[in-house]
Structures are given as C-alpha cells and as structure tokens.
Amino acid sequence: MDNTQFDKMMQGMFQGMTELRESQAKSQAKADLESQKLRELRAETELLARESQAKADLESQKLRELRAETELLARESQAKADLESQKLREFQAETSLQIREFQAETSLQIRESQAETSLQIRESQAETSLQMRESQAKSDLEFQKLQKFQTETGLQIREMGRRVDDVAKQLGHIGINTGDFAEELFWSSLKANPMLGGTLYNRVVRNVWDDDGNTEYDILLFNHDSVAIIEVKYKAKSSDIKNLLKKVDTFRNSHPDHAKHNIYLGLATTTRDRYYEKLVAKATEAGIYLLGQEGNHVELLSDKVRIF
C-alpha cells in the first residue's frame, strides 16, 4: 500500500467518524426535543385534569343547590295546601251557620205567614230549597277544588323529586341537560307565583302535548278567560319567536274549550348573549313576553304584549 492509498483510507475513516458524530448529535437533539414535548404533554394533561375536577365540583354544587331549592318548593307547596284546607274548613263552618240561620229565619217567616195563602207558602218553601241547594253546591265545589289542588300538589312534589333524581343520574363527572334545567327553573318560579304582566293565573301546567303528539307546550298558565303559552329555551334565538307564533292556531284547534280565551305568548331564556338586545326588540315587535331568570323568580325582560 503506497502513501496515497493510505491517505485516502485515513481520510475516509475521519470522514466516517465525523458523519457518525453528526448523526449522534442529531439523534441526541431529536431525543431532547421528544423529551421536552413529553414534559409539555404531561403538564397539559395535569392542567386538563385539574380543570375537569374543578368543573365537576361546580356541577356537583349546582346539583346540591337544585335539591335544596326543590325541598324548599315542596315545603312551600305543602304550606299552601294546609292554608287552603284551613280556608275550606272555615268556609264550610260559615256555610253551615248560614244554612242554620236561614232555616231558622225561614221557619219563622212560615209561622208568621200561616194566615197567607197556600200558594205563597209553597213559593217560599221552593225559594228556600233552591237557596239551600245553591249553598250546598257552592260548598261541594269548593271542596272539590281543594281535593284537586291537593292532588296536583302531591303530583308536583313527586314529579319534582323524580326530576331531581333523573338529573342526579344524568350528571356524570361533567355535564347536565341545560334544557330540562331551564324548564324546571321557570316552571317552579311560575308555579310559586303565577303572575305574568299583571295578570294572575290560577293553574299552571307543563309538558302538555296535543292529541296528535306533534306539538308540545312547555308551560301553560290558565285563568277564567286567558291562557299564556310559554316556550322555554336555555339560549333563546329570534327563530324561536317565529316557531312560537305558529302555536297559537294549533292550540286553538286542539283545545276547543279555550278557543275563545285571550292567548298570550312568552319566550323564556336563561342565557343572555351578545344578541340579547336584538332578541328583546324582536319580542317587543312580535308582542310577546320575554322572560329571564333572576335568582329564584321570573324577570320580565319585555312586557309589551298583545292578545292573540
């Protein structure tokens, strides 16, 4: 082997070693980069875990508050039922006293009228019998109203308990059905205080379907001459107003007993976003109530309404 060949061989060896060191340096840099990414991924994962736990704790707190509110509503409903029962007993006692007083007065009038004709006596007796039947009928009607109220109150309390249980079952680490939650808030508030725009209603029901099963009314309020149809949304939009307006004719056709009642419309929302002012303007233009939730009671965001 001459010197030229030896030099080329050495040169090749040096070049190979240089390439080997460069390859090792690149491999080390790549390993360092992967190690850095792994540390960042671990830090991000730990942050997400903490945020998820915080959110789960918040949802759990909301559930406890909902349970407490439901228990309070149940107690208030029971107190109201007790008060109505007391009023009925007082009314029955007063009615019985009036009947006895009236009977005594009638008997006295009959005795004083013995000298009058038999026709006058028969007319007086007929009038007395009619008044007594009307008084008894009124007493029976009040008692039936109380029985119906107590039945509805019991059903409502059981329904509240069932819904709370359902919410508790549906609540995992994160998440809750916001639509049902919004409907429960507005229904509970209107049930406790059935006043809307200065009009007092004496009956509040929820989740009413037409006979054909195609149209649902979230909340309905009734009195002797008016019906309020309330559509509940967690986050209401202008398009919800158009859909609500379509329900007026549908309600009249499927509920002929209330076809001649004054119908009012209301859209309830728990969320106010950047389109809130536009939604208020649309509700005012359409002539419907816009309801919001303020604490445990309903807040009228727009009350410039018309009768449908």
Q: How many Å apart are CA 219 and CA 194, to the nearest integer?
A: 11
- Residue 50 in any domain: the answer is no
Q: From the centroid of its chain, how far is CA 102?
A: 49
Domain that holds residue 255: 178-302
Residues 220, 292 within the same domain: yes
Residues 204, 266 within the same domain: yes
| Pairwise pLDDT comparison (243 vs 149), residue with the higher score | 243
Which CATH number covers residue 294?
3.40.1350
Number of domains comprising the chain: 2
- Residue 272 in any domain: the answer is yes
> With 80 as the cut, is the pLDDT of residue 11 above it?
yes
- What pLDDT is attached to residue 186? 92
Residues 163, 189 within the same domain: no
> With 50 as the cut, is the pLDDT of residue 168 above it?
no
When pLDDT is averaged across residues 270-297 and rounded to a whole number, the result is 84
Domain boundary among 170, 203, 228: 170
Instruction: Tell me the range of 154-163, 224-233, 265-274 where mean pLDDT is highest.
Output: 224-233
Residues 257, 290 within the same domain: yes
- Residue 2 in any domain: the answer is no
Residues 161, 191 within the same domain: no
| Pairwise pLDDT comparison (189 vs 177), residue with the higher score | 189
Average pLDDT, the chain: 81
Residues 75, 160 within the same domain: yes
- Residue 278 in any domain: the answer is yes
Judged by average pLDDT, the poorest of 3-7, 47-51, 264-268, 279-283 is 3-7
> With 90 as the cut, is the pLDDT of residue 244 above it?
yes
Nearest to 184 by CA among 95, 70, 77, 294: 70
- What pLDDT is attached to residue 162? 57
- What pLDDT is attached to residue 173? 39
> With 60 as the cut, is the pLDDT of residue 229 above it?
yes
Domain boundary among 130, 152, 170: 170
- What pLDDT is attached to residue 157? 40
When pLDDT is averaged across residues 198-226 and rounded to a whole number, the result is 92
DSSP H/E element including 227: strand 226-233
- Residue 158 in any domain: the answer is yes
Q: Is the pTM of this model over 0.85?
A: no
- Residue 269 in any domain: the answer is yes
Residues 93, 125 within the same domain: yes
Nearest to 268 by CA among 184, 205, 160, 159: 184
For the record, the structure tokens of 144 come out as 């039936």
Residues 132, 184 within the same domain: no
> With 80 as the cut, is the pLDDT of residue 143 above it?
no
Residues 166, 185 within the same domain: no
Domain boundary among 170, 200, 229: 170
Residues 183, 287 within the same domain: yes
- Residue 41 in any domain: the answer is no
Please enumerate in sequence order all residues whose Cβ is within 8 A of that of 266, keeping only pairs 6 or more positions apart, or say none: 196, 228, 229, 230, 231, 288, 289, 290, 291
Residues 189, 294 within the same domain: yes
Residues 85, 124 within the same domain: yes
When pLDDT is averaged across residues 21-50 and rounded to a whole number, the result is 87
Query: What confidence tens digit (pLDDT) does each residue in 79-135 have?
Result: 887 888 788 788 778 877 887 887 788 778 878 877 786 777 687 677 766 776 775
Helix then strand count (H, E) for the chain reads 6, 8
- Residue 11 in any domain: the answer is no
